[in-house]
């Protein structure tokens, strides 16, 4: 019976260490945090048919949802075709992203 309690205590200790490591890892490796007086932007440049736009937006959204990145999303139109622009507008409405056009691509205007 004593062996059972030692094994149980060892397992509990391993679990406690694993939880501590996960907590420290989360604090250390959260790459992007929001700071007072500063805003972090995730700029996604899209051109042509912008095939990877939805995937890139999903990736940044996932980082935001799980707390890894506190960023505003900006879609930079660097020459998207009409269909890509329409898709970008729908995605921007879903995610809260902002779209800036190639003629007015100025980070300060975001």
**At 27, is the secondary structure helix, strand, or coil?**
helix
- Distant-in-sequence, close-in-space partners of 4: CB < 8 Å, separation ≥ 6: none
Q: What is the pLDDT of residues 2-47, one digit of tens each?
A: 899 999 999 999 999 999 888 777 666 665 566 666 677 889 999 9
Q: Can you give the pTM of this predicted structure?
A: 0.62
Report which of residues 101 and 86 the model is more confident about: 86
**At 56, is the secondary structure helix, strand, or coil?**
helix
Q: What is the dihedral of CA 76, 81, 90, 35, to 10 degrees?
A: -10
């Amino acid at each position: 019976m004593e062996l059972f309690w030692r094994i149980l205590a060892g397992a509990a200790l391993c679990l406690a260490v694993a939880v501590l490591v996960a907590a420290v890892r989360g604090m250390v490796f959260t790459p992007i945090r929001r700071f007072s007086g500063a805003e972090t932007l995730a700029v996604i440049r899209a051109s042509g048919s912008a095939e990877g736009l939805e995937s890139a937006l999903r990736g940044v959204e996932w980082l935001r949802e799980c707390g890894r990145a506190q960023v505003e999303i900006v879609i930079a139109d660097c020459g998207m075709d009409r269909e890509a622009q329409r898709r970008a507008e729908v995605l921007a409405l879903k995610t809260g992203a902002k779209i800036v056009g190639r003629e007015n691509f100025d980070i300060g205007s975001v």
